[in-house]
Structure 1
Amino acid sequence: MYEFKMKNLLAFASLALFTLAGCDSDKSEPTPSVEIPVVQESVSGEVSGTWTKGGTYKITGHIQIPEGKSLTIQEGVTVLFSDSVIKPEVVVKGNLYSLGTAEAPVKFTVPDSWKTAKNQFGNLWGGLIAGPKSSEFVLTNTILEYGGAVTTEESPSVKAGLYKAAAGEHVPVLYYPNVSGKLIVTNSTIRNFNEDGFYIEGGQVIIANNYFYTTGVSGGDAINIKSGVQADVAFNVVYSPNTNALKLSNSGDRTPQAYVVGYNNTIINAGWRRPTTKGGSIWLEKSVRADLYNNLLANDRYGIKRDKGAPEDSRSVISNTFYYGHNQTTADQFQPSDEIVKGVNDIISAKAAENDPKFVSYPLTTDMQNATFNTSWDFHLQAGSPALAKGKTDFTRLFANGIVVNGITYKSPAPASFIGAFGTK
C-alpha cells in the first residue's frame, strides 16, 4: 500500500511540475523580434562589408571599395546620394555585389525632391567607376538613376586615372576595365543619366533583361564596349538612347579581341536626339567581332551601321533583324548600303509603316525625339505579330554554361524563337 501511494504521489508531483513548467514557458515566451532597417545618415570614404536588407545609406561624400575588399548590398537597400555640391562618385577597386530582388530592388538614387523636369538627365551624382583590379562586379535587380555628373580635378576617378582620367567628362552609369574580371548586370533599370550608360573595357560580361531609358543629353550610347571584352548582351529594352543602343568596337588594343553576341534586344527611337548622324541603333567599328541575332529595331535613325573606314571583323554574323520605320525617312535609312549592314533573313521593308511589330501598348507614332519613358508601355508582342516565330535559336552564345561570381553561376539566357526582347504575354 505504501509503495502504491508513493508511486501515485510521485506521479502527481511530476504532473504538477510539468504543468507549472508549461505555465512558466507560456509566460516567458519571447516577443517576436521586428527587424528595423538601418539608416546611416552620413556615409563617405572607404566602405566594405554588408549593407543590410531594407536599409538606407545616405552618401554625403565620395565612397570607395578598397582593393581586396567587397561590398554586398542586400535587397531593398536605398543608396541615397544626398550632397548636391560634391556629387559623389562610387569608386570600386574591390568587388561590388548589388543583389536586389524583383520585389525589393536595390536603388542608387537621389532625394525625391530632386527628381524634377530640370534634372531629367540626372547629373546629380557620379557613377560606378571600377578599377583595373576589380575582379567581380554584379548588379541584379538594381535601379540606377539621376547620375552622370561631370568630373573635376578633385574627382576620385580622375585622381586614380580611371575612365577617361580627365576633368570635364560626364561619368557613365558604369565603367569597368578589368580584362580578367567578371561583370554581370541583369534585371536592372538604368534611367535619367547624362551620357553613356555602360562603358566597358574588359572582362567576361553578361548584360541581360535590363531597361535603359532617358539617357544622354547630347551624346552617349546605352552600352559602349571596347577591346578586352567578351560579352553576351540579350533581352534588353533600350528606349531613345541619344546615339546607339550598342556601340561595339575593338579600340584600345587590349587582349582578348572584343567579341559580342547580341541577341533578342528591342531598340526604339535610337539616335534621333544626337546633333550629328553617327549611329542610330547598333554601331560596329575597328575589327570588333559581333554576332547579332533577333534584334528588333523600331523607329531608329539608322539600321545596324558600320564605320566604313574601320569596319567590323569579317567573321561577324548579322541575322534575323526586324525593322520598322513609321515614316519614309526612317524606312529609307534602314536600307542596306556600304554603311548599313545587310543581314541574313532580315525582315525589312522599303515602305513606311510596314511590318508593324504589334507591341501590346506602345504607340508607334510617338515623337522619335521623345526621351520621356512611360512605364505603362508594354513591348510584348500581340498575337499575329510578324516578329513572332521568326527568331534564330541555333547559334552559340559565349556564356551558356555560365560565369561563376562569388560562388553563384550566372548564365546568359537562351535565345528565343521570336524577335525582340519579349514574345506574347
Structure 2
Amino acid sequence: MKKVLLSAVIATAVLSSCSKKDNVAPPVQETVSGEVSGTWTKGGTYTITNHIVIPEGKSLTIEEGVTVLMNDTTIKPEIIVKGNLYSLGTSNNPVKFTIPDNLKAANEFGALWGGIIAAQTSNELVLSNTILEYGGAVTTESSASVKAGLYKAAAGEHVPALYYGNINGKLVVTNSTVRNFNEDVFYLEGGKMIIANNTFYTTGVSGGEAINIKSGTQADVAFNLIYSPNTNGLKLSNAGDRSPQAHVIGYNNTIVNAGWRRPTTKGGSIWVEKNVRVDLYNNLLANDRYGIKRDKGNPEDARSTVGNTLYYGFSADGVAQFQPSTEILTGTNDIISATVAANDPKFVNYPVSTASTNATFNTSWDFHLATGSPALGKGKTGFTRHFSGGLTVGGVTYTSPAPTSNIGAFGTK
C-alpha cells in the first residue's frame, strides 16, 4: 500500500513539473506591418514585411533580446515614429534591428531596409543596448518617410539609421552599436540629447557622417568609438537656424580612420560650421584625414572652445593635415605630433598601421589604452555639460557621463 502511495506522489510531482514547464510561453514569433504600439516582449522575433508606424500619442516599448527582422528587400521597410519609441536592451541581451543572415556577406554597407525616422510629434526616443545594422536604403516616391514629409522628403536619398527632429523632444542613445549602413548614421535636427558609450563602424559608401547635428539641438556626445566613417565622425552645424542654437558638448570620443574613403576632399574627424556652438574636449583622433576642421566661409560660434585633443598620424599626409591652420582648429593643451607616428596612443589591440581606407571592423580590436599612453592623465574635467543633472525619458533619468582625466573613450583596462 505504501509503495502505491509513494508512486502516486512521484507521478503527481512529475505531472506538476511538466505542467509548469508547459505553461512557460515560448518567445513571440510575429509578422508585423502598418501601425504598431504597446510592447514587443522579451526574446521575441518581429518580422517586418512593410513600413511600420508608431502613431502620434502612442508608444512602442521593445524589451531586451527582441530581434526586429527586416525581411522585405523590395519594399525595404522604414520605421516611422510619430509617437514614442523605447528600445531597451541589456548588455547581455541587446535589441537588434537586422536583416536575414544570408544577405549580410554580399551587402557590407547595407541599404536593405530604411532606418528609424521620427516625426516632429515624437516626444521621446530611447535606444539603449540596441544594435542597428544593414540599413540606409535609398528612398522612392512610395517610401513612408517621403509620403510623410520626413527627413529630406524626397526620392533618391539614402535614409540614416536614425533621424530625429523635434526641438522640444528628448533623445537618448547609449551603449548601442550601429554598423553596416549606407550613408549618414544619425541625422539630428532638434531636441535635448545624450549620445554616449556607443560604437559606429562600416558606414558610408561615398559620403556620410557618423553623427550629423543641426540647429535646434542641445547635445552631450561622449565616450563614443567611431571607426572609419566615410567623412566625419561628428559633423556639427547650426544649419536651419532653428531655435535653440545648436550647442554640442563633445568629449572623450575616439575617432579612427575618418574621412579617407570619401572620393572628394572635405573633412575627416570633426567638422564645425554655420555658427554652431561647440565645446570639444578629450577627443582622440587617430589616423584621421584632417584635424578638427571648420568651414572658413561660415565658421563656428566664436564662443566655442576646443582643448585636450590628441592627434596621431601613421602617414605623412595624416600628420600634415592635422597641423593648426586657418581651417584646422587649435585647442588648449592639445597633443599634436609634428612627425609621423609620434605620440602613439598605445591601443591595447589595434594595429595603428591598418590601412586608412579600411572599413572592415575586427571585433577583437581593443581601443583601451596601455600603460605609457600619452593620452593617460591628459584630459580635462570640470567643464559643464548639458545633462550632468540628468535627462528624464520614459520615466528613466539618464545622465551624461562625467569626463575623465584621460583622452579618448577608453582608459586602461
For residue 32 of structure 1, give the secondary structure of its aligned residue in structure 2: helix
The one-letter amino acid of 1:253's match is D
Name the residue aligned to 2:325: 337
- SS of corresponding position for 2:320: helix
Deviation at 1:163, TM superposition (A): 0.2
Q: Which amino acid counterpart does residue 37 of structure 1 have in structure 2?
A: P
CA distance in structure 2 between the partners assigned to 1:27 and 1:93 by the alignment:
50
Aligned to 1:107: 96
CA distance in 2 between counterparts of 1:275 and 1:415 reads 35
Could you tell me which runs of 5 or more consecutive residues in structure 1 were left unpaired when the two chains were aligned.
Answer: 1-21
Match of 1:158 among 128, 146, 152: 146
TM-score, normalised via structure 1 length: 0.93
Is 2:189 aligned against 1:205?
no
For 2:317 and 2:227, the matched residues in 1 are separated by: 19
State whether structure 2 residue 74 is matched by structure 1 residue 85.
yes
Asked if residue 299 in structure 1 is aligned to residue 256 in structure 2, the reply is: no
Q: Deviations over 1:90-131 (max 9, x none)?
A: 000000000000000000000000001x30000000000000
Which residue among 245, 255, 260 is the counterpart of 2:248? 260
RMSD: 1.4
> Which runs of structure 2 are paired with 1:61-210 in the superposition (5 Å)?
61-116=50-105, 118-210=106-198
Q: What are the ranges of 5 or more consecutive residues in structure 2 without an aligned counterpart?
A: 1-8
For residues 143 and 105 of structure 1, the distance between their equivalents in structure 2, rounded to whole angstroms, comes to: 7
The secondary structure found in structure 2 opposite 1:91 is strand
Moved over 4 A (4+): 22-30
How far the C-alpha of 1:234 sits from its partner, in A, is: 0.2
TM-score between both structures, scaled by the size of structure 2: 0.96
> C-alpha offsets along residues 66-90 of structure 1, whole Å, 9 cap, x if unaligned?
0000000000000000111000000
Q: Give me the whole-angstrom Cα distance separating, in 1, the residues matched to 2:10 and 2:152.
A: 70
Quote the Cα distance in structure 2 between the aligned partners of 1:23 and 1:377. Answer: 54
Which protein shows a greater Rg? Answer: 1
Q: Report deviation, 1:32.
A: 2.8
Q: How far apart, CA to CA, are the structure 1 residues paired with 2:348 and 2:314? A: 17
Give the Cα separation in 2 of the matches to 1:87 and 1:349.
Answer: 46
Alpha-carbon displacement from aligned partner over 1:132-153 (angstroms, at most 9, x marks no partner): 1100000000000000000000
- Whichever residue aligns with residue 348 of structure 1, its letter is I
Match for residue 45 of structure 1?
A: 34
Match of 2:344 among 348, 356, 360: 356
Report the AA paired with residue 29 of structure 2: V
CA distance in 2: counterparts of 1:28 and 1:359, whole angstroms = 57
Q: Distance in 2 between matches of 1:361 and 1:132?
A: 42
Aligned pairs (5 A) from 1:328-407: 328-407=316-395
Q: What amino acid is the match of 1:365?
A: S
Distance in 1 between residues matched to 2:141 and 2:221, nearest whole Å = 34
For residues 221-264 of structure 1, what are the alpha-carbon distances to aligned partners after superposition, in whole Å with 9 as ceiling and x for unaligned?
00000000000000000000000000000000100000000000
| 2:56 equivalent to 1:56 | no
Are 1:240 and 2:231 matched, yes or no? no
Deviations 1:289-327 (A, max 9, x none): 000000000000000000001100011010100000001
